[in-house]
Amino acid sequence: MSALTIMLVDDHPIVREGYRRLLERQSGYRVVAEAETAAAAYQAYRSAKPDVVVMDLSLPGPGGLEAIRHIRQWDKGARILVFSMHQSAPFALKAFEAGAAGYVTKTSPPEELVRAVETVARGGRSLSSDIADEIAAERLTARGGAFDDLAPREVEILRMFASGRTADEIADQLALSLKTVQNYHYQIKAKLGARTDAHLVWLAIGGGFLLAEEPVRDPPR
């Protein structure tokens, strides 16, 4: 049998090395590519064509949602497993909407990641138990609210805005016009009912779209 090929996407080299060692201890698993940004992930995927992508969501600049969306635009059959610190049900659901096939949190036991890689490689879907519980609780209590109305690209722009990037920076990093980003900004505020930009940032953090340890600059005014 040929080896199962894997690409790792995370902006921390030491973390990627840990994943590599864990996965390559499994018989027939081989890491063939690594990337630390959304743009690099897209290029590496096109070059290596791995069987499975293990993708973090918190990347510098455009995040993992944008990377998932871009890869899936190029290859509808791409099998992408999110491996993230985000334990937010809305964020996990947006990852699936963008095209992910699995979602495992970094607080999960190592064997849960290995099982998820195997499941996604077979064409299945996988959720770690903690995020499955979060999604179930959200659905039972209807906590998703206005976030359900946001498209994955809107969530990515919300995340970038909440981390302190200006509209010009977002436009440059996502290859969009400034006017388009401004329109997205207006639409996101309207959908979430945000009264001010500060309120929008507060909503993004409360919804789990920005981790507490992610660097945050002062929000644009």
End-of-domain residue from the set 116, 140, 164:
140
Q: Does residue 221 lie within any of the structural domains?
A: no
Mean pLDDT score of the chain? 85
pTM of the predicted protein model: 0.73
What is the spatial distance between Cα 145 and Cα 154, in angstroms, rounded to a whole number?
15
Collapsed DSSP state (helix, strand, coil) of residue 216: coil
Whether residues 108 and 151 fall in one domain? no
Domain of 192, CATH number, reads 1.10.10.10
Can you list the pairs that 103-111 forms with residues at least 24 positions away whose Cβ atoms lie under 8 Å? 103/127, 103/128, 103/131, 104/128, 104/131, 105/130, 105/131, 110/22
End-of-domain residue from the set 140, 159, 187:
140
Say yes or no to pLDDT of 49 above 50: yes
Structurally, the chain folds into a number of domains equal to 2
Whether residues 109 and 157 fall in one domain? no
As given in the structure block, the two tokens for residue 119 are: 């499941």
Whether residues 28 and 128 fall in one domain? yes
Whether residues 32 and 124 fall in one domain? yes
Whether residues 149 and 125 fall in one domain? no
Domain that holds residue 61: 4-140
pLDDT of res. 141: 59
Alpha helices for 64-151 (secondary structure H): 64-74, 89-98, 110-121, 129-141
Q: Does residue 43 lie within any of the structural domains?
A: yes
Q: Which residues on adjacent β-strands are paired with residue 53?
A: 7, 80
Whether residues 34 and 115 fall in one domain? yes
Say yes or no to pLDDT of 151 above 90: no
Whether residues 87 and 135 fall in one domain? yes
Q: Give the pLDDT mean for 136-162.
A: 74
Q: Give the pLDDT mean for 194-216.
A: 69
Q: Give the pLDDT mean for 44-63.
A: 92
Domain of 51, CATH number, reads 3.40.50.2300
Q: Running DSSP on this structure, what letter comes out for residue 164?
A: T
Whether residues 105 and 164 fall in one domain? no
Q: Which of 91-95, 104-108, 144-148, 215-219 has the lowest mean pLDDT?
A: 215-219
What does residue 16 show for φ and ψ, rounded to 5 degrees?
-60, -40
Residues 118-144 pLDDT 10s: 999 999 999 888 888 877 776 665 555
What is the spatial distance between Cα 50 and Cα 184, in angstroms, rounded to a whole number?
33
Q: Does residue 161 lie within any of the structural domains?
A: yes
As given in the structure block, the two tokens for residue 127 are: 């959720």
Q: Which residues on adjacent β-strands are paired with residue 81?
A: 54, 102
64-74 vs 152-162: helix axis angle to the nearest 10? 150
Q: Does residue 219 lie within any of the structural domains?
A: no
Say what percent of the chain tops pLDDT 70: 88
Whether residues 64 and 111 fall in one domain? yes
Whether residues 84 and 150 fall in one domain? no
pLDDT of res. 100: 94
